[in-house]
Amino acid sequence: SDKPTLIACRTTIGFGSPNRAGTAKAHGEPLGPDEAKAAKAQLGWTAAPFEIPGDLATAWRAAGARGADARKAWTARFAEAGERKAEFERRLAGKLKPEVAAAIAALKDKHAAEKPALATRKASEAAIEAIVPHAPELLLGSADLTPSNNVKAKAAASIAPGSYGGRYIHYGIREHGMAAAMNGLVLHGGIIPGGATFLVFSDYCRPSIRLAALMGVQAIYVFTHDSIGLG
């Protein structure tokens, strides 16, 4: 299929544990030596601790070698990519173009001289407009609040069905999905994602924000309209 696929894995917590499978005890407590021994017996596991049976090691190494030829062919193509190769490596290394720092410095000088009265989100919008033309790795989006969050730069086309070359994602009313997708984009590499919504909706993003913090990934969260009266 050329459409997204949802794989639902129906599992039993503590599977294999004869006395704790499917119970809260398998979730909140260690099995302990006796129950661990019973679980190994039920699962037919006879290897000693930290010992990897030969058949499993062989299967694992075979799985790792499956893509060797494809990787070798890709590496050969990549070596001939010229300027695209250098740009790809720059993005994966997380090194911004020097034009980004120059654009930020110019904007700071402009605002310092003019001293405009701006809402925070409008100042953020000005910064985004300055940065986006020089940072092709920046992929922003909003959870159905684009006109309010002010994170869509004029230079960033929207990603749409059949048109995937844009640099802006309309996530819809999917704050949790947006934050989770951002983590995936960072972990892929070469992309700096940013997602926006009202601050009150950050609660929906919290599980993925927690994971982003634990993993130390470079995901950008833009939370505007700090008010319980909005949302």
Q: Which two tokens stand for residue 172?
A: 């819809």
Whether 137 sits among the annotated catalytic residues: the reply is: no
Of these residues, 89, 99, 137, 175, which one is catalytic? 175
Rounded Cα–Cα distance for residues 22 and 25 (Å): 8
Q: Which two tokens stand for residue 120?
A: 């925070």
What is the number of helices (H) and of strands (E) in the chain? Answer: 10, 4
Under DSSP, the state recorded for 69 is H
Rounded Cα–Cα distance for residues 220 and 196 (Å): 9
Pairing of strands 220-224, 138-142: unpaired
Strand (E) or helix (H) holding 193: strand 192-198
Rounded Cα–Cα distance for residues 52 and 67 (Å): 23
Known catalytic residues? Answer: 175
